[in-house]
Amino acid sequence: MSGIRTGALPETWAPPEVAGEETSQDSSPFVDFDRESWARLGANTPLPLTAEELDQVRSLGDEVDLDEVREVYLPLSRLLTLHVQEGGRLYRAYRTFLGATTARTPFVIGIGGSVSVGKSTTARLMRLLLARWPQHPRVALVTTDGFLHPNAELERRGLMTRKGFPESYDRRALLQFVTDVKAGRAEVSAPVYSHLTYDIVPGARSTVHRPDILLLEGLNVLQPAQPSREGGPALAVSDFIDFSVYVDAATEDIRRWYVERFLRLRETAFRNPESYFRRYAALDEAGAVARAESIWAEINGPNLERNILPTRGRATLVLRKGPKHDVTGIRLRKV
Binding residue numbers for ATP: 113-120
Q: What end-to-end distance do the CA atoms of the chain give, in Å?
A: 18
Helix ranges, 15-133 (H)? 35-40, 51-57, 66-68, 74-98, 119-131
- Known binding site: residues? 113-120
- 53 and 128 Cβ atoms separated by less than 8 Å: yes
CB atoms within 10 A of CB 16: 17
d(CA 300, CA 254): 10
d(CA 56, CA 125): 9
DSSP 212: S
DSSP 117-184: SSHHHHHHHHHHHHHTSTT---EEEEEGGGGBPPHHHHHHHT-GGGBTBGGGB-HHHHHHHHHHHHTT
Compute the CA torsion angle 174, 177, 179, 182 (nearest 10 deg).
-130
